[in-house]
Amino acid sequence: MVFITPVWKKNINSDSNDAEYLQLNEVTLLMRKTLGPFKRISYLFLMFLLLRFSVAHAENEFVIKSVNTQLNGTVYFLNAVFEINLPDYIVSSVEQGLVLPLAMEIKISRNRWFWFDDDVVTIRQQYRIQYHALLDSVSLLNINSGNRLYFSTLKDTLNQLTVLLNYPLLDNYSLSQGEYYQARLSFGIDNTELSIPLKSSSFWKNNWNISSDWYEWNITQ
């Protein structure tokens, strides 16, 4: 029995497509020496899927760096720091006029050892980023509040979203004394607001279903 373990080789002088091609080429050569035609095709197909998945997730487009909540009076406020690195194909699309929808999701639930967790709060904060050719500026629209800000570049717009300060989370009276609550946060492209062609983008092409991993922390009354 032969086990084939692909090894990722990082090449800082080539883009992800070149690195992906080199790795697939190495796997292909090894398969020619050890496997029959049918198994060779099957393993090659599986390796290709794994490589596409790893490349798509290796860039870490949305990263939650830190999160904390503070009680001020009777209200809990959320502070968070994000890192945003949009792929070139998304940057190019925005520069050509595509409206980019983003969403931050917050879920707070009460831990219950004898049953499912009890959902206390669910918040969906939505944004829209759009380039305006006539103004040569990029707007950031806060869907929840209706506020709109304008920036000179897309980079400046994204920088505005990397720090979240004093975001009202929930009222202290929503929590029970002595109970433990779990909070979860994610941030990324709002796939529900994308156009149908982008929602159904082929797995083999550019990926628009991009968001951070869920960040979890505890809140105690």
DSSP secondary structure string, 48-104? HHHHHHHHHHHT-SEEEEEEEEEEETTEEEEEEEEEE---HHHHHHHHTT--EEEEE
pLDDT of 104 reads 97
Q: Are 214 and 184 in contact (CB under 8 A)?
A: yes
* Averaged pLDDT score across all residues of the chain: 79
88-93 contacts: CB < 8 A, separation 24 or more? Answer: 89/206, 90/189, 90/206, 90/208, 90/210, 91/154
Q: What is the C-alpha to C-alpha distance for residues 142 and 165, in angstroms, rounded to an integer?
A: 15
Q: State whether residue 200 is helix, strand or coil.
A: coil
What is the value of pTM for the model shown?
Answer: 0.70
For the CA atoms of the chain, what is the radius of gyration?
A: 22
Question: Residue 144 above 60 pLDDT?
Answer: yes
Task: Tell me the percentage of the chain whose pLDDT exceeds 90.
Answer: 53
pLDDT of 19 reads 47
